Structure 1
Amino acid sequence: MDFALFWKRIKRAALLDIHLYEEVEADRETIGQAGLVVVLSGLAAGIGSLSHGGLGGLVGITLASLVSWGVWAYLTYYIGTRLLPEPQTSSDPGELLRAIGFASSPGLIRVFGIVPGLTAVLNLAAGVWMLVAMVIAVRQALDYHSTWRAIGVCLIGWIIQTAILLLAFWIFGLGKPPGAV
């Protein structure tokens, strides 16, 4: 792997370069790079929250990032191509995996959350930044003309993924079911 090109792509993704999202959508060889961006973003979040989550949190956040990436990409694919397609929409799950993986690039700033007092601010900033990147990635990967449609796909996917995560936490005893006392 060409690490110089990889880091340029991360930077371009974080700068919300729509051409980067088109590039990785079309290049099947970037799936490993997209996965690495997700892992690095998860590691950055885990390192940034070491004081709260410890080593277990680091591993948990990284693994959760990978699972969320896959779930999110497949949900987005289904919603974007089946429920809310535009006439020109043409995509496959791999295209969304690649584009959405690179949309995790802004999450790398979360590593600086290790500085006391910065964790919450950086998590919020990274979350908003990654959401904007996600909308751009979805718009490009699904060949949408409408940014609003991409926002709708992301919103519906987020609601479904959140419900799945809450259910999983409840099933595995990691939290109470919604509405439980």
Structure 2
Amino acid sequence: MPEAKHSLGKRMIGAMFLNIDVFEEVEHDRTATGQAATVVLMVAVASGIGSSGLGLYGTMVSSVGALLDWVVWAGICYVVGDQLFGGKATWGELLRTLGFAQTPGLLLLLVLIPILHDPIIVLIILWSAVAGFIAVRQGLDIGNIKTLFTIILATGVVGFIEWIQQVRILSDLP
């Protein structure tokens, strides 16, 4: 597939509209990794502003956390999808597609409007889940069922890692 090399803005709009061609484009454009990281950071900042209680320091810390989460999630999805379900991808391809899949999170700015808070949160969770599904499917070049199982298993791995961390923290307590 030829790389169309759309701008960051056009790619973000395409990702918001769940345009599969945009996910394919960023998957194959090795120069789009920086753009994907920019999307992740923009969403983290939107989340920080939307939370309004984080402040500048909290937003900066959550932005670093968002980048780490993105990198780890892409890595786990890559290993699960590639090794267990025959995906044909690189870690970078998943980084790019999953980064752009976070674009709906920019709507977190709207949670500052009290009446919109809960509906926007629900909308973003569902929209981001669909975008993430498309990102994993297109990034790994696998079918829907394999994508579903990749996400389920990757979520289990993340949960297990978090559980191990909690056990370690609790075992360090006096």
TM-score, shorter chain, exceeding 0.5:
yes
**The TM-score by the shorter chain falls in which range?**
0.7 to 0.9
Deviation of the 1:117 alpha carbon: 4.5
Unmatched 5+ stretches in structure 2? 1-5
Matched, 1:26 2:23: no
Identity rate, percent: 34
Question: 2:24 and 2:147 mapped to 1: Cα distance?
Answer: 15
Q: Larger deviation: 60-69 or 6-15? A: 60-69
- Once the two structures are superposed, residues 29-86 of structure 1 have per-residue CA deviations (whole angstroms, 9 ceiling, x without a partner) of 00000000000011111111114x344432232222111100000000000000122x
Any stretches of 5+ residues in structure 1 without a counterpart?
none
Aligned residue pairs, count: 166
Q: Structure 2: which amino acid aligns with 1:95?
A: E
Name the structure 2 match of 1:154.
Answer: 151
What SS does structure 1 have at the residue aligned with 2:141?
coil
User: Does residue 68 of structure 2 align to residue 67 of structure 1?
Assistant: yes
Could you tell me how far apart the structure 2 residues matched to 1:9 and 1:136 are?
Answer: 14
| TM-score (norm: length of structure 1) | 0.83
The answer to whether 1:104 aligns with 2:106 is no
Separation in 2, partners of 1:167, 1:110: 30
Q: Which has the larger helix fraction?
A: 2
- Taking only aligned residues, the RMSD between alpha carbons, in angstroms, comes to 2.0
Q: Is the 8 A contact 1:47 1:113 kept in 2?
A: no
Determine helix, strand or coil for the equivalent of 1:118.
helix
Tell me how far 1:166 sits from its aligned partner.
4.5
Q: State the distance in 2 between where 1:117 and 1:66 align.
A: 30
Do the aligned partners of 1:48 and 1:119 also contact (CA within 8 Å) in 2?
Answer: no
Note closer, same or farther for the CA distance 1:135–1:122 as it changes in structure 2 (3 Å cut): same
